Amino acid sequence: MAKFKINQNTKKIIGNVAYPLIALILVLAVWWIVAAVKDKPLIFPTPDKVVVEFFGLFSGKSFWTSVGWTVLRTVASFLLSFVIAFIMAALGGLFKPIHRVMSPIVSIFRSAPTLAIILIIMLWLDGQRAPIIIGFLIAFPILYQAIYTAITGVDKDLVEMAKLYKVKPFDVVFGLYSPEIAPAVFDVSRSTISLTLKVVIAAEVMTYAKGSIGLEMQKANLSFDVAVLLGWTVLAIVLSFVFEGIVFGIKKLWEAKR
């Protein structure tokens, strides 16, 4: 039996590594073929050129400042969205009128084009603060809806039983609700934080935010340096995986301590 478990775990690990690796190889192969056919390195650089530019970014004078500010804006935007969404979702779960008020607001935010939100906020705020608010407006409705659904999805019989036996509110929150809603909250947070990063960078590009990845992308675009632009894009993808990995790691720690 132990041998079977080891084999199953090994297969799982190999699968988790092999399939993404195959996908990466396919993407790089197609990229290389298209670049060779186009034969226009300024417009369509080869993957090795982009890799060189990517690692070259680390030696840039403003690299760490740009990355630091973008990461800070992303974290601030996500935490602002998460805290407000959690509070409003909890209140909406307790008091239905609050959810009825929030529901159309959330629907409006979810339906509004991201570019339109960026353009409007650009008129009201400077480039340093606008990306944070824009990220909030995109992330908040997603987090609110997911958290509200998780809270209202808790077994009603268990809730009624807790009321019947007069279980302390603290025990109800952390003994009943937390274990039920945590998996959904972690999962939506994992996807939303990477989305927030993308939106923040897009807002930085549009607002010319000083000391940001978005501004560096805009500079590369204006100078028609596609290899550098793709290098910054690769960095944004790496940061997205890092953010998702952090949330996934926190989830695993939570599961281990249960």
Write the pLDDT tens digit of every residue in 40-72. 777 788 888 888 998 999 988 889 999 999 999
Tokens of 16: 């988790």
Residues 19 and 142 in one domain: no
Q: Is residue 44 part of a domain?
A: no
Asked if residue 50 lies in contact with residue 173, where contact means CB atoms within 8 angstroms, the answer is no
3, pLDDT greater than 70:
no
97, pLDDT greater than 90:
yes
Residues 137 and 230 in one domain: yes
Distance (Å, whole) CA 236 – CA 199:
11
Residues 78 and 10 in one domain: no
Distance (Å, whole) CA 69 – CA 234:
17
Q: Is residue 230 part of a domain?
A: yes
Query: What totals of helices (H) and strands (E) does the chain contain, helices first?
Result: 11, 0
Q: Is residue 45 part of a domain?
A: no
Question: Among 192, 202, 198, 233, which residue's Cα sits nearest to residue 115?
Answer: 202
More confident residue, 7 or 113: 113
Overall number of domains in the chain: 2
Q: Which residues, 6 or more positions from 237, have their beta carbon under 8 angstroms from its beta carbon?
A: none
Q: Is residue 212 part of a domain?
A: yes
Residues 29 and 137 in one domain: no
193, pLDDT greater than 80:
yes
Q: What's the rounded mean pLDDT across residues 192-214?
A: 94
Tokens of 83: 């805290």
More confident residue, 209 or 39: 209
Q: What is the pLDDT of residues 212-224, one digit of tens each?
A: 999 999 999 998 8
Q: What Rg do the C-alpha atoms of the chain give, in angstroms? A: 23
Distance (Å, whole) CA 154 – CA 176:
8
* Number of other residues whose CB lies within 10 A of the CB of residue 95: 11
Residues 32 and 96 in one domain: no
Q: What is the pLDDT of residues 115-168, one digit of tens each?
A: 898 899 988 988 789 999 999 999 999 999 999 999 988 777 777 777 777 777
**Percentage of residues in the chain having pLDDT higher than 70:** 93
187, pLDDT greater than 60:
yes
Distance (Å, whole) CA 2 – CA 178:
33
Domain that holds residue 204: 52-257
Looking at 31-40, 73-82, 126-135, 184-193, which range is the least confident one?
Answer: 31-40
Q: What is the pLDDT of residues 232-251, one digit of tens each?
A: 999 999 999 999 999 999 99
174, pLDDT greater than 80:
no
CA distances from residue 228 to 33, 84, 156, 201 in whole angstroms, order as listed: 20, 37, 55, 16
Asked if residue 142 lies in contact with residue 188, where contact means CB atoms within 8 angstroms, the answer is yes
170, pLDDT greater than 80:
no
Residues 194 and 247 in one domain: yes
pLDDT at 243: 96
The DSSP symbol for 42 reads: T
Residues 126 and 177 in one domain: yes
Average pLDDT, the chain: 87
Tokens 């008020």 belong to 101
Using 50, 70 and 90 to split pLDDT, how confident is the model at 4? very low
Q: Is residue 217 part of a domain?
A: yes
pLDDT at 63: 92
Q: Is residue 6 part of a domain?
A: yes
Residues 128 and 203 in one domain: yes
Q: What's the rounded mean pLDDT across residues 107-117?
A: 89
